[in-house]
Each structure stands twice: as structure tokens, then as C-alpha cells.
Amino acid sequence: QQPVQSPQAVILREGEDAVINCSSSKALYSVHWYRQKHGEAPVFLMILLKGGEQKGHEKISASFNEKKQQSSLYLTASQLSYSGTYFCGTAGGSYIPTFGRGTSLIVHP
Amino acid sequence: DAGVIQSPRHEVTEMGQEVTLRCKPISGHNSLFWYRQTMMRGLELLIYFNNNVPIDDSGMPEDRFSAKMPNASFSTLKIQPSEPRDSAVYFCASSPRQVNEAFFGQGTRLTVV
């Protein structure tokens, strides 16, 4: 079953912050975040494993709460290059992710 | 390394025809995935291979779809017969191990008319 992402779309100005949420109805062992620019392949951002960890990647970080079966992606001081569609993938014991429908992020100058 | 290589990049075919999509994973990667992307469903996992063996094909839509991985450097996804609803972008991805980032190819845009 696909995880649910919210919001479906976000429009920002450069320098603003954004949060993308991902929730699942199933028990999770890992959460995978990818970004896809228009017409390109998805590109890996990070994996978070069971244990409630947080990770950071420049100004993009994420948290994973396996008890709530949720993950959030935080984009701080957004840049034009952050524009794209963000996918979360949630996985059970196989660690093979099932992806949500994505959140479209548009950053304007 | 050249990354994951998919061919063709674009395919237009008539309904009822057989379509074969090809993928060359990154050398040394032992996990390979086929995904289908549409506006309606997003990114769906079709099948997953580990060490050339199909592990999970529960995402394959129906018997018209089949996938093979005859060796570590090549995989195919075949649709026979194709239907207009199969129109989508098909991605192949590989990973050095199961719990790791997946590297995606550039995709094959399939249009069935």
C-alpha cells in the first residue's frame, strides 16, 4: 500500500522553508526520500532506518518516527535548485520501498 | 561508471504489439528494480531481482508483463500484447545491496497507440 504524502504541492520563494510529510498504515523499517526533476530520473536523498533517527543533507533533513509510522522532510532556506517532485518510499522488513505519489515543490526567485 | 543504462529512451507502438525494454545495471550492483511511473499512480514497483533471481513480482500488473534477468549485467521487461493503458515511463534502478540508495536509469517513455 502506498504511503500518503502531504501536501501534494508547495510553492515557495527562495529562502523560505518547507516540510513534506509521509505517513503509512503499515509498520515501517525504513523510509527512503528521492527528488525528481522534470523529465529526469529520481535521485536519492537519504534513507532513515528504524530507530527514530534524523538525518541531514546540506539544508535538507528528515526525521522518522516508526511508532507513528511517519516521516517528514525539512527543506531549509530553499534554493531554486530544490524545485522538483519529492517522493517518500516506505518499507517493511524487506527494506524495499513502496513510493507515494509525490509532492511537487516549486521555488520561485 | 556510466550509470544505469536503459534502452530505448522512447518507444511508440501500436496496441497489440510486443514491447521489450532493456536495462544494464551498474556493475557490481546485485539488486535490480523495475518501476512504472504515471501521473495517476506515481512511482510503482513492478519487480525486484536480487542476484539475478526475481524476489518480488507482486507489482507486475498482469500476465502480459514479464521480466527476466539472464545475467548480472542485463535485464528485460516485456509487455505482450501491449495496451494503451500501459503508456508510462518505465524506470530501471540498481543498488549495491538491498538497504541502500537505488540508482535510476533515465527511463523509457512508452506510448501505446
Q: How confident is the model over A78-104, as pLDDT tens digits?
A: 999 999 999 999 888 777 888 989 999
Nearest to B42 among A40, A96, A99 (CB): A99
Is the bond preceding residue A109 a cis peptide, omega within 30 degrees?
Answer: no
Amino acid symbol at A107: V
Q: Which residues of B touch A44 (CB under 8 A)?
A: 101-103
Cβ separation B106–A94 shorter than 8 A: no
Q: Is A59 in a helix, a strand, or coil? A: coil
Q: Backbone phi, then psi, for B86, in 5-degree steps?
A: -80, -5
Q: If you search the block for the grid coordinates 525486484, which residue do you land on?
A: B48
- Give the pLDDT confidence score for residue B1 in this predicted structure: 64
Please provide the average confidence, as pLDDT, over all residues in chain A.
90
Q: For chains A and B, count residue pairs whose Cβ atoms are closer than 8 Å.
A: 44
Q: Is the model's pLDDT at A25 over the cut of 70?
A: yes
Nearest one of B75, B86, B60 to B30, comparing CA atoms: B75
Per-residue pLDDT of chain B (113 residues), as tens digits, is 689 999 999 999 999 999 999 999 999 999 999 999 998 889 999 999 999 999 999 899 889 999 999 999 999 999 999 999 999 999 999 998 766 789 999 999 999 99
Distance from CA of A43 to the nearest CA of B (A): 7
